């Protein structure tokens, strides 16, 4: 049986390769180094039959999401991971944090309320405006974050979860919001002071990821779909091999489709970011 596709660390990558290739423990190194002469293309051709048998539709991918909260992930463990639109609409830790500061969002109407003031956050309306005007630029950025870039983002692999922006301090959205005006300035710092960073490890199927998680363009995705996913299979094997040998150095991003909920049953673990990083650091 196929195990989860997990390249978050070398041991997990080894496990997946052994499972898919049906090898005995210890045989992978000799197969790759000696038989394939450290050449991935040779290795992939040698194991093309196993790759062709891989059922992409049934395969579950393991990804990680870096987040911050003040309840030890209790809300996430109960309700799962949700995209930004849902988090702002529902009664969540983030929406309640904002409401206490007089900020709330009417997502269907695309309106941001700050105390008794209303702001249109339909970012498309500001496309042709003078973006040099600070408030216009800020409204554009806030709206774009909510209505364009609102999906759950994460990594299939990250060598250092502290190295990507400030997501280990506060949601990117709060940093964007903090740049709006004097009513919102420093709101990201307030959140950071009351929260701790966590890594959420979860599983999802190929249909839940945006095509650009794996492909340069949509045409490549569609062509590979009709070719039995052979291009994707080669990518998966290559990244697994590189991860197994601790050769992955750049982040491998995972972009979930909007409106996808990662239910609690699909969350593998929620652990403090520091603990997660300690686990990963031992491999490098």
User: Containing H/E element for 114?
Assistant: strand 111-114
Question: What's the CA gap between 65 and 274, in Å, rounded?
Answer: 14
* Phi/psi at 65 (5° precision): -125, 130
- What percent of the chain has pLDDT above 90? 91
Say what the pLDDT of residue 276 is.
Answer: 98
Say what the pLDDT of residue 134 is.
Answer: 82
**pLDDT band (50, 70, 90) for residue 1:** very low
Question: What's the CA gap between 42 and 44, in Å, rounded?
Answer: 5
Average pLDDT score over the chain: 94
Q: Residue range 126-140: average pLDDT?
A: 80
Regarding pTM above 0.85, the answer is: yes
Over the stretch 41-69, which tens digit does the pLDDT of each residue have? 999 999 999 999 999 999 999 999 999 99
Domain boundaries, given as residue ranges, for the chain: 10-61+202-281, 71-152+168-196
Question: Cβ(157)–Cβ(243) under 8 Å?
Answer: yes
Question: What's the CA gap between 209 and 197, in Å, rounded?
Answer: 24
């Amino acid at each position: 049986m196929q195990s989860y596709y997990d390249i978050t660390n070398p041991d997990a990558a080894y496990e997946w390769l052994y499972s898919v290739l049906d090898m005995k423990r210890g045989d992978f190194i000799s197969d790759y180094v000696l038989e394939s002469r450290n050449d991935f293309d040779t290795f992939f051709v040698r194991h093309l039959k196993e790759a062709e048998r891989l059922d992409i539709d049934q395969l579950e991918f393991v990804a990680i999401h870096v987040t911050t909260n003040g309840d030890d992930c209790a809300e996430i463990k109960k309700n799962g991971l949700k995209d930004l639109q849902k988090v702002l609409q529902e009664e969540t830790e983030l929406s309640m944090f904002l409401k206490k500061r007089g900020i709330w969002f009417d997502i269907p109407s695309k309106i941001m309320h700050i105390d008794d003031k209303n702001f249109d956050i339909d970012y498309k309306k500001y496309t042709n405006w003078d973006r040099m005007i600070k408030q216009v630029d800020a409204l554009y950025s806030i709206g774009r974050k909510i209505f364009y870039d609102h999906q759950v983002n994460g990594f299939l692999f990250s060598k250092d979860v502290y190295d990507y922006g400030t997501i280990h301090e506060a949601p990117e959205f709060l940093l964007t919001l903090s740049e709006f005006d004097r009513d919102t300035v420093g709101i990201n710092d307030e959140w950071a002071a009351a929260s701790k960073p966590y890594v959420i490890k979860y599983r999802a199927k190929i249909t839940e990821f945006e095509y650009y998680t794996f492909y340069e363009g949509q045409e490549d995705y569609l062509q590979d779909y009709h070719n039995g996913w052979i291009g994707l299979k080669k990518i998966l094997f290559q990244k697994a091999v590189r991860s197994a040998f601790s050769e992955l150095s750049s982040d491998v991003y995972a972009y979930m489709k909007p409106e996808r909920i990662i239910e609690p049953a699909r969350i593998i673990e929620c652990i403090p970011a520091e603990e997660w990083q300690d686990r990963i650091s031992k491999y490098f």
